[in-house]
Amino acid sequence: MSVRRDSHGSYLFGLGALALVIFAALSLFAPNFLSFANLNSMGSQFPEFGLLALAVLPTMLSGGIDLSVVAMANLASIVAALLLRAGPEFAWLAIPAALLIGILCGLLNGCLVAYLRLPPILATLGTLQLYGGIGIVVTGGPAITGIPSWYGAFGNASIGGFLPVPLLVFALAAVGLGLYLRLTPSGMRARLFGANPVAARFAGMPETSLILKIYGMSGFIAALAGLVILARVNSANADYGGSYLLLVILINILAGVSPFGGSGSVTGIVLAVISLQLISSGLNFLAFSAFARDLFFGGLLILVMTVRALFEGAGLARFRPRPDKATST
């Protein structure tokens, strides 16, 4: 266990060094990169997919995955938008209702995995379509607009003139999730279960309740991301963030989260989010199109997985399911 922890620590050091190198290169070769407007814009943009990446982290630590986080975020934002637009007497319900929707969607994912024993990747792929379809039915297709201006101001405001509110929300969520994973029994069990589910079962770990808590947590953070998205773009759309799922998976893999569970950290997610935002800004300065960015990020995902496998000294065989993982879903 200590070997894995040391390896992860070395990987995080390398990831942090990568972020610094990218930052230094952009500072030297992109004159407007260090402008206040650009830095403030980046601080407002990356919390959206950063929160979604945090939502996926607990499920991957436990040996599963949640592909429905973007759809849950969109559905939560739609519910909040409808209540905000309904009038002041319903506006106060918007945030609690959106968070409740996220938790319920997450619990449904957990039920499919815990009770029906569906593979997490298939269960959440199905609910990705389910939640997206519900969002389209509710909205009728077009985006929901007419959100009160005070809510939109929240998403574009800055504290002290330099700290974007979405960035503060992301920071608080990262700290909260980090404390949950390190200090609570459920958080620590999630990592242990992902490392060796068979041993965890023999040790009497409450598997069903653990999976429900993990996926409920994922839904809660995804709904939080939906509220931030709603505040930032001032509208709710069932199809928003079509490319975010690729980014979210890339962030977790780049952060050092094992595809088979048991390894990963919030610190890694934060460093990976910053690195990806810096890379995205660099591509913008180089006038890359959105389609070229998706191509670049897809290739980067494959490259990172390959390099990680070789870096850890296990070759590509490390990414093949181990026998004790075959029964984890």
Top-confidence residue, 261 or 328: 261
Closest by Cα among 221, 14, 9 to 101: 221
| 292 Cβ contact list (under 8 Å, min separation 6) | 283
The pLDDT of residue 315 is: 42
Q: What is the average pLDDT score of the chain?
A: 86
pLDDT classification of 264: cutoffs 50, 70, 90? confident
Q: Which segments of 9-167 are extended strands (E)?
A: 158-159, 163-164
Looking at the chain, the whole-number percentage of residues with pLDDT higher than 70 is 91
pTM: 0.88
Give me the mean pLDDT over the 228-243 stretch: 90
Domain ranges across the chain: 16-22+35-319
Pick the CATH number of 16-22+35-319 from 1.10.10, 1.10.3470, 1.10.1760, 2.60.120: 1.10.3470
Out of 85-94, 107-116, 195-204, pick the least confident.
195-204
Distances (CA, A) of 205 to 63, 110, 115, 178: 15, 16, 16, 21
Top-confidence residue, 108 or 280: 108
Give the whole-angstrom CA distance, residue 187 versus residue 191: 7
On whether the CB atoms of residues 68 and 74 are closer than 8 A, the answer is no
DSSP state of 117: -
Angle, nearest 10°, between helix axes 149-156 and 165-183? Answer: 70
